[in-house]
Amino acid sequence: MTTHYLVLSALLFVIGGVGVLVRRNAIVVFMCVELMLNACNLAFVTFARQNGNLDGQVIAFFVMIVAAAEVVIGLAIIVTIFRTRRSASVDDVNLLKY
Amino acid sequence: MEPAKIIEHSGGVIGVSWLLIALPLLGAAFLLLGGRKTDKFGHLLGVATAVASFVVGVLVFLQLLGFDPAERRRAVPLYDFIPGLTKMGLLVDPLSISFVLLITGVGSLIHIYSIGYMAHDPNRRRFFAYLNLFVAAMLLLVLADNYIGLYVGWEGVGLASYLLIGFWQHKPSAATAAKKAFIVNRVGDFGLAIAIFTIFTAFNTVSFAGVMESGADPSQGTLTAIGLLLLLGACGKSAQLPLQSWLLDAMEGPTPVSALIHAATMVTAGVYLVTRSGAMFFPEGSTAAIAVTIVGVATLLAGAIIGTAKDDIKKALAGSTMSQIGYMMLAAGIGPAGYAFAIAHLITHGFFKADMFLGAGSVMHGMNDEVDMRKYGGLRKVMPITFATFLVGYLAIIGFPLLSGYFTKDGIIESAMEYSSTLGWLAVLGAGITGFYMSRLVFMTFFGKKRWEADAHPHESPAVMTWPLIILSVGSIFLGGFLIVGNRFMTFLGPAVGQPEHLPSFHPFSVPGLVTLALVAAGAALAWFKYGAAEVPVTAPRGSFLTTFARRDLYGDALNEALFMRPGQWLTRLAVFFDNRGIDGLVNGIAAGIGGTSGRLRRVQTGFVRSYALSIFIGAAILVGAWFVVGNL
């Protein structure tokens, strides 16, 4: 059983990681990050269940809280950028460079 | 006979003999700090301190004469100079008091003379301040009872000499000459400093009494090394080969300076050093003592040869000074048999050479500061007093019978003859050359036809200048006989420096003495035929190779330039090149390398978020991969 959950978790993580690397739309990249976080959560919960303690579940809650906070800030930034530049592409946000 | 023991002394005039140094030192300080306000009376104050110092010197001398000869070495402790290393004190003994009387006596006369000579110089006060400074430093040099005090005085006279050679610093030649004197002296002073360090290492003391009685028994090699290093110091200060080159250029200074510092006193400091250290570091027949005699003979010949070819009256006299100090060095190297003659010749030389330098100054004073003897001629009629006094000095230096130089120089030649006949005959030869070049000088200046410049109106100098000349010439006549006949000076000096078991007796008709007289007469006759009877051309003839050789100071400057100056310049250039290309290149290269690499490296920061994500991904992949590899080992 555990193996199936872990494979699913890894699959979700890879989908999220590829999405972050290849997509340009900031909202989509953001969702892919969330996907990776939740893949991790799945792995945590799986291990918690297998080991019979609550450590993994507690960590999963922490991750959710951090993710929620991150969403608040991240979405705010994305909306502000869209307002000023009329674009949500991460490739257009390249002013901070050498 | 060994030198007598040094006795601690307090009370009497000797107890306050520090006044000798303090008076001129205060004079110098007052005149230098007082500035232009003291211009009006500066020269008088300068003379007053010098004369007061002379008076104290005479009183000290009289009190010293009151003691038994074996108790005439008196130490006057003053204060703790460098705690743990040496106390400062004065050593009043026959040797130092002889110098004190010479320095303050001749010094006072030259101070008086300078009032007239420098009358039209706007900086006369500063001149007298420096002269006083010199007298104070020279007295410290001869009175200090330890080598460090001597060194302080030694440097002090060097400073005064530098300031006075470059007194007319608006003349580039004077400024250069002052610098040259200072730099060449540095070489000698370096030797003296190392010698003092070695003395302290070997004896754990630097006082003369301490070194004599320390009981330490350093190796022969150490003693020889100290002796040779002291000789190097003496060579620098006394313009002996191979450090002779500065003295001729030093004639750029005002003539009283040449008389006081570069003829009568400072340049004899080397002879004082050798004599003072003689019993300890220059024992008879030691390597160091032999080196002293060789240096002396080489210099007495070199100086005499240089003197034959110079047309500049002061440079001819400077060559002669070198030569005469060579005689003193020769005598000082011989040991106790020669010390008395060395110091006696030093004193009489102080008189007749100062007499002649001041005479030359008097001539220049009347001739618009012309120094070229080819433009003199026939001056004996217009300057009778200068001529008469100069003639006395001239006869004294060539050793005319019964004048000062006759006794003292003959003493040196006789004792050199007994020591080594080769050195003795070379000294006789030197005396012959002296007869030639001094006669040449006198004939070119005072005899023959007038060869004056159109605007020259020679006249006799004022009384303030002629009286010192007269007094000095009286000393030049009688002093030598007084000191030498009956070994008066040798027995006086004996307790301070040691004296031989058998006192020499004076033979007026010994073979070397007669040969010397014959050679001197021949030299004078030759000079008469070439420069007295014959016409002297106003422009110097080209002359043979030998003439050029002597005119160029035996290529001493050329040698120094080739051996030291040019290699030094190459070394400087090499160092500059190494600094610019090597050190700067390394530092700038590192900076440029870091800057360039950073410039390229920062291009990684593209601003594209996804490329950052990719690099994070690659990094994470590498870390995980590495973890797998390490974990599986």
Q: Are strands B86-92 and B74-82 parallel, antiparallel or unpaired?
A: antiparallel
User: Cα(first)–Cα(last) distance of chain A, in Å?
Assistant: 50
* Side-chain-side CA neighbours of residue B600 (13 Å): 5
Q: Given this model, what pLDDT does residue B135 score?
A: 93
In this model, does residue B249 exceed pLDDT 70? yes
User: What's the rounded mean pLDDT across residues B338-352?
Assistant: 90
Beta strands B74-82; B7-8: pairing state: parallel
B500 vs A9, more confident: A9
Residue from the list A17, A90, A98 with its beta carbon closest to the beta carbon of B609? A90
Mean pLDDT of B372-386: 84
- pTM score, two decimals? 0.79
Give pLDDT tens digits for B164-210. 998 988 889 999 999 999 999 998 999 999 999 999 988 888 888 88
Is the predicted pLDDT of residue B506 greater than 80, yes or no?
no
- The residue-averaged pLDDT of B100-127 equals 90
Is A93 near chain B, with CB under 8 Å?
Answer: yes
Over its C-alpha atoms, chain A yields an Rg (Å, rounded) of 16
Q: Report how far residue B486's alpha carbon sits from residue B482's, in angstroms, rounded to the nearest whole number.
A: 8
Whether B501 has a pLDDT exceeding 80, the answer reads no
Phi/psi-derived region of residue B459, left when phi > 0, alpha when psi is between -120 and 50, beta in every other case: beta
Enumerate domains of chain A plus CATH numbers: 2-89 (1.10.287.3510)
The tokens describing A69, both together, are 């906070």
Q: What is the mean pLDDT of residues A30-55?
A: 93
Listed in sequence order, the DSSP H helices in B450-578 are 463-484, 488-497, 511-527, 545-551, 556-560, 566-577
Question: Quick check: B180 and B165 in contact, CB under 8 A?
Answer: no
Q: What is the pLDDT of residues B4-39, one digit of tens each?
A: 788 887 777 888 888 899 999 999 999 999 888 888
User: C-alpha distances in angstroms, B473 versus B116, B135, B397?
Assistant: 18, 22, 11
Judged against a pLDDT cut of 80, whether residue B594 lies above it is answered with yes
Region B303-321: mean pLDDT is 89
B42 class by beta-carbon count within 10 Å (0-12 exposed, 13-18 middle, 19+ buried): buried
The answer, yes or no, to whether residue B503 has pLDDT greater than 80, is no
DSSP structure class, residue B600: H
Tokens (6 digits) for B190: 């370096």
For residues B124 and B115, what is the distance between their CA atoms, to the nearest angstrom?
Answer: 8
Distance (Å) of CA B160 to CA B23, B163, B628: 16, 5, 85
Q: How many residues does chain B have?
A: 633
A24 in contact with B, Cβ within 8 Å? yes
- What Cα–Cα distance (Å) separates residue B178 from each residue in B250, B340, B612? 7, 33, 74
Best mutation target among B597, B601, B610 (most A Cβ atoms within 10 Å) is B610
Asked which of A8-17, B334-343, B441-450, B493-502 is least confident by mean pLDDT, the reply is B493-502
Contact between residue B389 and residue B404 where contact means Cβ atoms under 8 Å apart: no
The pLDDT, as a whole number, for residue B465 is 87
Amino acid identity for residue B388 in this structure: A
CA B473 vs. chain centroid, Å, equals 23
Cβ atoms of residues B48 and B112 within 8 Å: no
Sequence letter at residue B452 = W
Residue B58 pLDDT greater than 90, yes or no: yes
Q: What's phi and psi for B311, nearest 5 deg?
A: -95, -20
Instruction: Reply yes or no on whether the pLDDT at B505 is more than 80.
Output: no
**Residues B3 and B212 sit within 8 Å (Cβ to Cβ):** yes
**Residue B221 Cα to chain centre, angstroms:** 28
pLDDT of residue B323: 92
Which position has the higher pLDDT, B315 or B557?
Answer: B315
Select from A21, A22, A94 the Cβ nearest to the Cβ of B607: A94
Share of chain B above pLDDT 90, in %: 32
CB B547, CB B440: distance < 8 Å: no
d(CA B435, CA B423): 19
At B519-551, the pLDDT tens digits run 889 988 888 888 877 777 777 777 787 878 778
Mean of pLDDT over chain B: 87
What's the rounded mean pLDDT across residues B234-261? Answer: 88
Residue B590 predicted with pLDDT over 70: yes
Range of lowest pLDDT (B2-11, B37-46, B400-409): B2-11
Query: What is the DSSP secondary structure assignment for residue B578, as one 8-state letter?
Result: I
Question: Which amino acid does the sequence have at B491?
Answer: T
Three-class DSSP category at B82: strand
Band (B421; pLDDT cuts 50, 70, 90): confident
Give the mean pLDDT of B149-155.
93
Quote the CA–CA distance of A60 and A81 in Å, as a whole number.
31
- Check if the beta carbon of residue B324 is closer than 8 Å to that of residue B271: no
Residue of A27, A28, A78, A97 to mutate when probing chain B, most B C-beta within 10 A: A97
Tell me which residue in B603, B607, B617 faces A21 most closely, judged by beta carbons: B617
* Residue of B604, B608, B612, B614 to mutate, testing the A interface (most A Cβ within 10 Å of its Cβ): B608
| Stretch (H or E) spanning B41 | none
> For A38-67, what is the mean pLDDT?
93
Rounded to whole angstroms, the Cα distance separating B153 from B278 reads 19
Which DSSP string corresponds to B338-404? HHHHHHHHHHHHHHHHHHHHHHHHHHHHHTTT--BGGG--STTTT-HHHHHHHHHHHHHHHT-TTSH
- DSSP structural state of residue B526: H
Residues of B with CB under 8 A from a CB of A: 602-610, 613-614, 617
State whether residue B7 is helix, strand or coil: strand
The arithmetic mean of pLDDT across residues B593-613, rounded, is 89
Closest CA to B610 of A77, A36, A31, A23: A23
SS3 B90: strand
How is residue B513 written in tokens?
Answer: 């003495």
Using a CB-CB cut-off of 8 Å, the residues of chain B touching A30 are none
pLDDT band at A70 (very low <50, low <70, confident <90, very high): very high
Residues B333 and B416: their CA atoms lie apart, in Å, by 9
Helix (H) / strand (E) containing B86: strand B86-92
pLDDT band at B592 (very low <50, low <70, confident <90, very high): very high
Mean pLDDT of B359-365: 88
Q: In this predicted structure, what is the pLDDT of residue B584?
A: 92
Tell me if B614 and A21 make a contact (CB, 8 A cut-off).
yes
Confidence at B1, pLDDT banded by 50, 70, 90: low
* Residue with token string 């003592």: B289
Q: Could you give the ipTM of this predicted complex?
A: 0.85
| Cβ contact B475:B468 at 8 Å | no
Distance from CA of A91 to the nearest CA of B (A): 6
Quick check: B602 and A98 CB within 8 A? yes
Which strands sit side by side in the sheet containing B74-82, from one edge to the other?
A: B7-8, B74-82, B86-92
Give the tens place of pLDDT for each residue, A81-97: 999 988 888 888 888 88
Q: Inter-chain contact B613–A91, Cβ cutoff 8 Å?
A: no
Q: Which two tokens stand for residue A7?
A: 């494979």
Q: What is the pLDDT of residue B551?
A: 80
Q: Give CA B72 to chain center in angstroms.
A: 28
CB B271 within 8 A of CB B109: no
- Name the residue among B261, B26, B38 with its Cα closest to residue B163: B261
pLDDT band at B560 (very low <50, low <70, confident <90, very high): confident
**Please, which pLDDT band fits residue B484 given cuts at 50, 70 and 90?**
confident
Instruction: Indicate if the alpha-carbon torsion angle B194, B196, B197, B203 is positive or negative.
Output: positive
**Which amino acid is present at B62?**
L
Please give the pLDDT value at position A8.
95
For residue B466, the model assigns a pLDDT of: 87
Nearest by CB: A97 against B606, B610, B613 = B606
Confidence of residue B569 (pLDDT cuts 50, 70, 90): very high
Res B423 pLDDT > 80: yes
